[in-house]
Structure 1
Amino acid sequence: MHLSHFLLFTPLVSAIWPLPRTLTTGTSTLWISRNVAVKYGSAGASISSSFPASPNISSQAGPPTGADIVHTALLRANNALFKTNFVPWMLHPRGSVFEPGADDGSGPQVTELCLQLPGDTAAALSTPPPPDADESYNLTLTVDGTVTIAAQTALGLSHGLSSLTQLFYSHSSSGGVYTPLAPVTIVDGPVFPHRGLNLDLSRSYFPKEDLYRVLDALSLVKMNRFHLHITDSQSWPLVIPSLPDLAAKGATRPDWVYTPEDLAAVQDYGARRGVMVYLETDMPGHTASIYQAYPELVAAYDVRPNWDTYAAEPPSGTLKLNSSKVEAFLDTLFADLLPRVKPWTSIYHTGGDEVNEKAYGLDDSVKSSDKSVLQPLMQKFVDGLHKRVRGAGLTPVVWEEMLLVWNLTLGPDVIVQAWQGETAVAAITAAGHKALVGSSTVWYLDCGHGQWLSFTPQTSAQFYPYADYCSPRHNWKVIYAHDPLAHIPADQHHLVQGGEVHLWAEQTDRQNLDTMLWPRAAAAAEVLWAGAKDELGQNRSQVEAAPRLAEVRERLVAGGVRAEPVQMVWCLRERGCVL
């Protein structure tokens, strides 16, 4: 007879994703209800009789305070525990008894949730946490029903509450909420400070509601950066009030735009969930959309049929590199935009990828494709961008080509984002710069869908079977196996700030956004939070990770995210799909 037929109520998964630094669990059952007492501080001064049921509307203008962040985390915990929880039948063998008996109110209960910060709690929560705030937390759940989450900042409390919700399940018959894992002790904190997702908002349009859903998912898996690649050659959806024609003429549709109010709302939504939302306006390349409003600023616009001579994608077009009109345009653009984004972010991405020198042969301000002519002009152009960014109190971010291809001298504060392989990361850190990982060979989520270009009968055969440039599709195991510190000398590890997974939107829109992102992005989230190696220095086990990833996928689905399955149900229930 199968062993599972003899199993009593014994959990097979201690499913917190991403994996905590240390986690110990027991086998006692505790129930939790909405009326659990929520308290602040070591003295246990009550701040709420139960979980909040509605958002806290702060009277303070600008970014949320620590109190706003904790209130949002409590509200989300309330939703996750009591509204969008799930019955974990698919994570246990057929015929096993994986639930306790239905609760009639007499079972052991969680009675108290204590949130602890050092020092003056009220003062600690009265201001927004700094960009480099400590995100660590400790969590204990005792068998007598006391939960204590201790942290240095509101962000740590938010992460602790996210982990707490992942300990609890919905009961199939009573609808009550229980954990089978008490007592629990967690000591946790991230390995990397920058754990992000880059989403392309130019090639496709995603309304605020989609971005909110992405932010909720990012927060659940403790990712803390949302990089909005918000302009490109295909469209300029970003409304700039001082340059109204940019979006009015450059957006794909009149209603496919992000107003200042939209942008502030998305940034605020992220900040309340511990996610910094920051922008990229890619330049000088990838700027053909500016031509629609300001044709005098753009060179080599929409060259046909040989667009690929001048750009990585159609339409071709790049900002002129030695034009006073371009400089005046950039002055106006950044004077309008940067002060508006500054309250919610500490970084700003100026782009710089895939700049094609041949386009400058068609630039009447340069009339040359000679790299020796272009390089000092590129240096001046990027210096000007970064001067504007620093002037707004922000740190510049650039793509790797500005350092590694154009050999620019970048300020020591500049963060360089790699996308073309591990050797690029090593070259960036060897030059003494902070680096973000995210190679197209492992962490691009759009790869493997085939070419989005169409081919004529004359060219079709040479491109068969029409694979895209970064094929094959990068499954969660490939993403999970990638070590951001691979090939980086130990004395340069501190320069690797973390990384981002990327979703470029040539073949993504609202209908498949969730399945393109989840749960694969969560695989990177664990690498960036917990590191790619276990305590023995070995790659983390896929066998151990798969059921935990499947469980967090169920939580995403229960919360309204259309995440792809990790394995078929038989594999999850029987743990037999292993080689």
Structure 2
Amino acid sequence: MFSRLVPILSVLLVALGPVCAIWPAPRSYTKGNSTLYLHQNIYITYNGEFLPYMAGYVPQSINSKEIVQAGVSRALESIFTDKFVPWMLHKRNRLSTFEPDVFKGQNWMKSLKIVQTTQDTASTFKPLAGEVDESYNLTISAQGDATLTAVSSTGVLRGLETFTQLFYQHSSGTFWYTNDAPLSIQDAPKFPHRGVLLDVARNWYGVDDILRTIDAMGWNKMNRLHIHVTDSQSWPIDIPSMPEVAREGAYCPDCKYSAEDVQNMQLYGLYRGVEVYFEIDMPGHIGSLEWSHPELIVAYDAFPYYWWCAEPPCGAFKLNDSRVDAFLEKMFDDLLPRLEPYAAYFHAGGDELNANDSMLDPGIRSNATEVLQPLLQKFVDTQHSRVRKAGLTPMTWEEIPLDWNVTIGNDTVVQTWLGGASVKTLTGMGHKVIDSDYNYWYLDCGRGQWLSMENGEAYQNFYPFGDWCDPFKNWHLIYSHDPTFNLTADEAKLVLGGEVAIWSEQIDAVILDGIIWPRASAAGEVLWSGRIDEATGQNRSQLDATPRLAEMRERMVARGVGAAPVQMIWCTQADNATECSYPMGPGL
């Protein structure tokens, strides 16, 4: 682990140089020190056609111009209405030394010319990892002419988010400015899959909470929202042909997502360059079907739970029962065709299947691997084939190929979470991998034990009641993780990216924003910019990242997301490189 960290002296030397405020860090960035003001009537064109600024614009169809029009409107609306006056980022009562003097004349930004060099295809709007070019170039001349060039409309959206981060509102309240003209940015992501996993089955999240998360992902140039939509605790997704499933399995009548809700979430993400895809975890983690289809489930609410599953109330599919296959055929025939227009992936689960469950299954009565593995192979083959038939690519958790030795297709993406050698082992087997190493990227860790216990042996064993994946993963730890660490070049090519995970035993919508942000932003920079700074050849420095992340946090708060603070204001108003670092102070 320590080989991933830059020596302290190197970190400090890098930190003493100038840094840009953009998050995630662009691949190449040069800037000047001239001021330009942004007028609300700036002239914007897209491939030569005028684009008006229309606040709150919603695309009317899935096409490039509509997506860019909406992106332009969101970017300008953010600049003009969020009132981001960066007093918290400059020394106390010294904002005036950063702000331009509005009484000494204004040089105005005249135009923004957006050029998309290649036509979008259908896969642009629901890409497999690597199918869409997200790169962009942004230049602003000293005279106020800006040009944003990208290969795809998705690249345009990424460039517009960078454009947004260049501007501040003047404390007078009447001007918006950048001090960085002229500037030139060339940028592209390192990894094509940069995601957030949100568990909506253990605690309920409304649609607005999910849409707000998608917004913040777009600002951080993250592009996959993985919704873990069912588990043994609840089934909140409505299946119109099987209304009993969510009616009985959801926590409450209003605690479910309609077919329209699902489509709206996916469209909302599509318009922001965030692909929303769903997971129905199986054959374990499926106990919520006990409420509507008890004939399919074994070991639901079995006691003591730890013999049968990782957490109550347990519940797994019967692996040797034809009724399970009939249910899944009907469910997938309903669900998958509705997801396919807006997503390239479907996650079929596969984690933490406890072999003991099948000892309670009348059709098996065994926990022997040699008995269960052929049944699981058949189960996975059948469900993955249904996913492919619907035009989607299957995803699975790492236990399926690693613990159960199940053969999976070359197209299947494996999500790994157990850390250690998992990524190297899976890529060495030739599998495409998404990394969610719990040691670094589980955002629910460190909140303590949620199970209650009486005084006695359990009390003594669990005291002081930490959770299984302590400690809390602060942004520094998240930022230290490299998904391709210790891989060969060929193995690294199979790492599509990663996802931070929010499991919801102790998290709900009330605290969601502060749990995700800005910690997910740290992973977002790792996945967009890479751990290695190309300019220095060294791991990216926390001292460079901290002031930029603090500014990104303030921008998110200004835009309506309750992100947690990076530091106290004293640090953001001081010289971060020397005042809030270790060793501390100017004598570095």
When the two structures are superposed, what TM-score results if normalisation uses the length of structure 1? Answer: 0.94
Aligned length: 557
- Give the share of equivalent positions with the same residue, in percent: 47
1:425 equivalent in alignment to 2:431? no
Partner of 1:54: 56
Partner of 1:321: 319
Distance 1:422 1:23, change over 3 A: farther
- Alpha-carbon separation, structure 2, partners of 1:350 and 1:174: 51
Q: Deviations over 1:115-150 (max 9, x none)?
A: 00126xxx5499954511100000001111111000
The answer to whether the 8 A contact 1:39-1:115 is kept is yes
Alpha-carbon distance, 1:492 to partner: 1.3
- Alpha-carbon separation, structure 2, partners of 1:14 and 1:400: 38
The answer to whether the 8 A contact 1:14-1:167 is kept is no
- Alpha-carbon separation, structure 2, partners of 1:12 and 1:564: 25
Partner of 1:223: 222
Q: Deviations over 1:482-524 (max 9, x none)?
A: 0010121112111000000000000001110011101000000
Residue type at the aligned position of 1:329:
F
- Alpha-carbon separation, structure 2, partners of 1:240 and 1:111: 51
Alpha-carbon distance, 1:52 to partner: 2.2
**What's the secondary structure of 1:449's corresponding residue?**
coil
1:387 equivalent in alignment to 2:390? no
**What's the secondary structure of 2:328's corresponding residue?**
helix
Matches within 5 A, 1:296-335: 296-304=295-303, 306-335=304-333
Distance 1:401 1:74, change over 3 A: same
- Alpha-carbon separation, structure 1, partners of 2:29 and 2:67: 25
Moved more, 201-210 or 271-280: 201-210
Structure 2 residue runs of 5 or longer lacking an equivalent are 1-16, 583-588
Q: Deviations over 1:522-573 (max 9, x none)?
A: 0000000000112244221000000000000001000111111101112112
Matches within 5 A, 1:450-529: 450-458=448-456, 459-529=458-528
> Which ranges of 4 or more aligned residues in structure 1 deviate by more than 6 Å?
none
**What's the secondary structure of 2:571's corresponding residue?**
helix
- Alpha-carbon separation, structure 1, partners of 2:64 and 2:49: 17
**What's the secondary structure of 1:34's corresponding residue?**
strand
- Alpha-carbon separation, structure 1, partners of 2:294 and 2:126: 41
Residue type at the aligned position of 2:198:
L
The answer to whether the 8 A contact 2:84-2:168 is kept is yes
Partner of 2:45: 39
Matches within 5 A, 1:149-548: 149-304=148-303, 306-458=304-456, 459-535=458-534, 536-548=536-548
Alpha-carbon distance, 1:105 to partner: 10
Distance 1:386 1:181, change over 3 A: same
The answer to whether the 8 A contact 1:102-1:171 is kept is no
The answer to whether the 8 A contact 1:297-1:326 is kept is yes
- Alpha-carbon separation, structure 1, partners of 2:41 and 2:430: 53
Partner of 2:6: none
Partner of 2:9: none
Residue type at the aligned position of 1:313:
E
Distance 1:323 1:105, change over 3 A: farther
Alpha-carbon distance, 1:68 to partner: 2.4
Residue type at the aligned position of 2:229:
I
**What's the secondary structure of 1:31's corresponding residue?**
strand
Distance 1:528 1:554, change over 3 A: same
Residue type at the aligned position of 1:548:
R
The answer to whether the 8 A contact 2:300-2:315 is kept is yes
Distance 1:138 1:386, change over 3 A: same
The answer to whether the 8 A contact 2:123-2:132 is kept is no
**What's the secondary structure of 1:527's corresponding residue?**
helix
Residue type at the aligned position of 1:423:
A
- Alpha-carbon separation, structure 2, partners of 1:84 and 1:205: 29
Moved more, 533-542 or 387-396: 533-542
When the two structures are superposed, what TM-score results if normalisation uses the length of structure 2? Answer: 0.92
- Alpha-carbon separation, structure 1, partners of 2:50 and 2:337: 35
Partner of 2:24: 18
**What's the secondary structure of 1:26's corresponding residue?**
strand
**What's the secondary structure of 1:86's corresponding residue?**
coil
1:82 equivalent in alignment to 2:80? yes
Residue type at the aligned position of 1:425:
V
- Alpha-carbon separation, structure 1, partners of 2:342 and 2:125: 11
- Alpha-carbon separation, structure 1, partners of 2:572 and 2:173: 24
**What's the secondary structure of 1:36's corresponding residue?**
strand
Distance 1:80 1:364, change over 3 A: same
1:94 equivalent in alignment to 2:106? no
Alpha-carbon distance, 1:54 to partner: 3.3
**What's the secondary structure of 1:25's corresponding residue?**
strand
Alpha-carbon distance, 1:104 to partner: 6.3
Moved more, 502-511 or 64-73: 64-73
Partner of 1:5: none
- Alpha-carbon separation, structure 2, partners of 1:501 and 1:200: 11
Moved more, 83-92 or 526-535: 83-92
Partner of 1:7: none
Alpha-carbon distance, 1:94 to partner: 2.8
Moved more, 86-95 or 262-271: 86-95
**What's the secondary structure of 1:566's corresponding residue?**
coil
The answer to whether the 8 A contact 1:13-1:91 is kept is no
Structure 1 residue runs of 5 or longer lacking an equivalent are 1-10
Q: Deviations over 1:348-390 (max 9, x none)?
A: 1000000000000001121111111000000000001100000
The answer to whether the 8 A contact 1:349-1:396 is kept is yes
Moved more, 383-392 or 32-41: 32-41
- Alpha-carbon separation, structure 1, partners of 2:223 and 2:279: 16
1:577 equivalent in alignment to 2:586? no
Residue type at the aligned position of 2:214:
L
The answer to whether the 8 A contact 2:89-2:551 is kept is yes
Q: Deviations over 1:439-464 (max 9, x none)?
A: 11110000000000001212211110
**What's the secondary structure of 1:572's corresponding residue?**
helix
- Alpha-carbon separation, structure 2, partners of 1:72 and 1:57: 6
- Alpha-carbon separation, structure 2, partners of 1:221 and 1:139: 17
- Alpha-carbon separation, structure 1, partners of 2:100 and 2:526: 37
Moved more, 200-209 or 82-91: 82-91
Moved more, 78-87 or 257-266: 78-87
Distance 1:415 1:93, change over 3 A: same
- Alpha-carbon separation, structure 2, partners of 1:521 and 1:126: 29
**What's the secondary structure of 1:327's corresponding residue?**
helix
- Alpha-carbon separation, structure 1, partners of 2:351 and 2:240: 27
Alpha-carbon distance, 1:88 to partner: 1.1
- Alpha-carbon separation, structure 1, partners of 2:123 and 2:282: 35
Alpha-carbon distance, 1:103 to partner: 3.5
Q: CA RMSD in A?
A: 1.6
The answer to whether the 8 A contact 1:200-1:505 is kept is yes
Q: Deviations over 1:387-440 (max 9, x none)?
A: 000000111000000011001111000000000004111111011000011111
The answer to whether the 8 A contact 2:56-2:74 is kept is no
- Alpha-carbon separation, structure 2, partners of 1:13 and 1:399: 39
